[in-house]
Amino acid sequence: MQDEAPRSLEQQLEDSLEGLKKVAWIRKLAAIADAHGHFQSCGHKHFGAFVEAGDTLLVTFESIQGAQANPEGARPLGWDFVLDQGWSHLGLFSDGDTWFRDQTIYGYFDRLIDDGFFEDFETVLFYGAGPAGYAAAAYSVAAPGARVVMVQPQATLDPRVTEWDDRFIHMRRTAFTDRYGYAPDMLDAAHRGYVLYDPTEDLDAMHAALFTRPNVTKLRMPFFGTALQGDLQKMGILPDLLEPAADDSLSAHSFARMHRARRDYGGYLRNMLGVLDSRDRPYLAALLCRNVSARMNVPRFRRRLEALEKAAAEGKLVLPPRHEGV
């Protein structure tokens, strides 16, 4: 019987990892990384997996649990960019949200620096969201000149700086003042950084303010809430965000154009209606419901519009006049 031909990197990356338990999932990643790059365990809670393809390197930070929840086959986020853009990918993974504050991670990046790893690529792009957004900024200093995209990042959890953030009290004994510590300072060596956040989320906005630097562009996503990475994925614009970030064509103006996808995204529209109702703005709520109902079949907005119009007919509130065909 003739042996089967070895499977290509693309074929292996396209495999779904859904349904695998954590240990089996890690072993699958390790086998692919060992065959096409390298795999490095970093203590009990972290590991790095590198897949070599092109001369653009995407460095992502993810939790194992977040990657396993990826609707695209429970694969690491960066593998789609290897498949679609031909980029190389270095994934750093944590078991739970650790902010990647671990001496073994420091050592891993130290070895990559000593080996000249990042110098082998024409473009290096760091990416992460939330705790991983913090890590993307903090470790980007290992590759001077890198581009960095951070979604809802924390600047630090050092209580002497961010004592106002009471969401992560359990992390206050973790050191954020030693190496790779204060994320905004680590961006000083970056070519360009981008911070995405919802300015209506006070704590996220306060962290974003700490990233104010000449080389950092802030991209605002008001009324989205606290899960922006998932929203970007569901709107299908995460690749549209990272590709121009890599080639320096991303700007507040270009992001505003791609961000128009929110007009057809149910999560954003529901949030907007909730905000308007909570602020007792029936006039604006009616405008929103009319717009959505005219373009989409969303019963929730149709019912809300009917309730508003009934209240207006009873003289309880004033709504904007209807235009022809609306």
pLDDT for 11 equals 86
pLDDT for 1 equals 43
With residue 38 as reference, give the H or E element that holds it.
Answer: strand 37-42
DSSP state of 2: P
Residue 307 CB: number of other CB atoms within 10 A?
A: 13
| Total tally of structural domains belonging to the chain | 2
276: closest CA among 319, 231, 322? 319
301 and 187 housed in the same domain: no
Q: What is the pTM of this model?
A: 0.93
pLDDT for 315 equals 87
How far is CA 205 from its chain centroid? Answer: 16
Q: Would you say 92 and 60 are in contact if contact means Cβ atoms under 8 Å apart? A: yes
251 and 275 housed in the same domain: no
Question: 174 in a domain, yes or no?
Answer: yes
247 and 280 housed in the same domain: no
pLDDT for 323 equals 66
* pLDDT tens-digit series, residues 128-174: 999 999 999 999 999 999 999 999 999 999 999 999 999 999 999 99
Q: How far apart are CA 59 and CA 69, in angstroms?
A: 19
Tell me the CATH number at 108: 3.40.50.1820
- Given a cut of 50, the residues of the chain with pLDDT beneath it are 1
Question: 299 in a domain, yes or no?
Answer: yes
183 and 293 housed in the same domain: no
166 and 21 housed in the same domain: yes
Domain that holds residue 292: 266-313
41 and 97 housed in the same domain: yes
Q: Would you say 63 and 93 are in contact if contact means Cβ atoms under 8 Å apart? A: yes
163 and 307 housed in the same domain: no
239 and 272 housed in the same domain: no
pLDDT for 4 equals 58
Residue 252 half-sphere exposure toward CB, CA atoms < 13 A: 8
Question: 236 in a domain, yes or no?
Answer: yes
Could you give the C-alpha distances from 306 to 272, 291, 299, 301, in angstroms and in order?
A: 18, 13, 10, 9
165 and 308 housed in the same domain: no
